[in-house]
Amino acid sequence: MRENDDIKLNYLLSPVALLYGLGISVRNLLFNSGIFPAVEFPVPVISIGNLAIGGTGKTPHTEYLIKSLMNDYRIAVLSRGYKRCSKGFLLAGESDRAMTLGDEAYQMKRKYPDVHVAVDGNRRRGISNLLQMKDKPAVVLLDDAYQHRYVTPSLSILLTDYHRLFYRDRVLPFGLLREPRSAMHRADGIIVTKCDENLRPIDYRIIEQEMNVLGHQQLFFTRIVYEPVKPVFPILSGMSANLNVSDNEVLVLTGVASPSPFIREAERRFGRVTTMTYPDHHNFGKQDITRINEVFARLNSPDKFILTTEKDAVRLLNNPFVPQAWKDILYYLPIRIDFCTETSTRFNDWVKNHIITFQRNNILR
């Protein structure tokens, strides 16, 4: 089993982390004791979140839930809309873009246009507004809400990156945890994400033992599957037939929290790869585009193109600084979630049984 070699701890900041962890523990105690009020809602509210900052795969796992539930239930997704320019509650409409919704919410709305997608930093207000709609949702999915304790979810799913498992990490700024490892006890289910393909059965058992999963908690393992390359501008793109040729020269452009897996996949598919990385949720400005153009111009292959992540693609799609020339050579690599140790049936049944039980109990009240 591979050790968590990506974990780098800042020992000089451990005293600050002690104070931070103490403050978070007091906050959790106030919620646990009822001094800070939390609201429950009369519909199943499924929270997808994590303990660490950075990417653990919340959006693709939320999309997985949308796809698995949307044929049986009216679904709504509520996100805070990180780095959006709008304020308050906003239900996604046809005129909204990544700037008004945030890149993750916009991505989900584009992929699932029939699903209600809303953004609001105040999750209580957001859910209340969704439930006042004429076609109100039967199930609400909360994206990145594990620390938002003013809402009590009916089902809480905690994600942890296989390469940075939360029980080997520490709280900020010593490590990358937003709250102490003991907060895992609030989860009903835990998903170890981004697992390597070569894990053996014993590796899964070791993680389960080290994690000390509680009796009521379900544990799952997933990995990222990269799908065929797609154009960001499908109508205008002209290179689709030559995209998976191994001798293509590719400029890989990322603005995500954990770009390494994406870069490795690009290097596996294409012979010559140049990378340009930016911070998570980066909004590409005029100077960024100029710099990217300069690097791209130095690539020698006649079949060169730019490859980006799905999340970056939605930010570039309506970016006013993207030149017309890019619309013929800008592509992205979609991803999906696959379960490792078994089919997705056990996870799907677990979630759907929760919804059925919640609805039955709500009727009997």
Angstrom distance (rounded) from CA 145 to CA 41: 15
Burial track 252-289 (b if 16+ CB lie within 10 A, e otherwise):
bbbbbebbebbeebbeebbeebbbbebebbbbbeeebb
pLDDT computed for residue 341 by the predictor:
83
How many residues make up the chain in this entry? Answer: 365
The answer as to CATH 3.30.40 being correct for domain 230-333 is: no
**Please, is 121 exposed, middle or buried when counting C-beta atoms within 10 Å of its C-beta (0-12, 13-18, 19+)?**
middle
- Assign 68 to helix, strand or coil: helix
**Beta strands 330-333; 230-231: pairing state:** antiparallel
Angstrom distance (rounded) from CA 1 to CA 331: 34
Angle 317-323-326 from CA coordinates, rounded to 5°: 70
Angstrom distance (rounded) from CA 344 to CA 181: 27
Burial track 1-15 (b if 16+ CB lie within 10 A, e otherwise):
eeeeeeeeeeeeeee
Q: DSSP strand E in 162-217: where?
A: 189-193
Consecutive sets of 10 residues in the chain, 365 residues long: mean pLDDT of each? 58 91 96 96 97 91 98 97 94 95 96 97 97 97 96 98 95 94 97 94 95 95 94 70 66 94 92 94 96 95 91 95 93 95 91 97 77
pLDDT computed for residue 2 by the predictor:
44
pLDDT computed for residue 137 by the predictor:
98
Q: Could you tell me the two tokens for 218? A: 């379900």
Q: Where do you find CATH 3.40.50 in the chain?
A: 11-73+138-225+339-359, 230-333
Q: Could you tell me the two tokens for 38? A: 């939390």
The answer as to CATH 3.40.50 being correct for domain 11-73+138-225+339-359 is: yes
Distances from the Cα of 87 to the Cα of 58, 82, 97, 101, 120, angstroms: 22, 11, 14, 10, 8
pLDDT computed for residue 365 by the predictor:
63
Q: What is the end-to-end Cα distance of the chain in Å, rounded? A: 48
Could you say which DSSP state residue 243 is in? T
Q: Could you tell me the two tokens for 43? A: 């519909």
Angstrom distance (rounded) from CA 165 to CA 207: 9
pLDDT computed for residue 9 by the predictor:
85
pLDDT computed for residue 242 by the predictor:
52
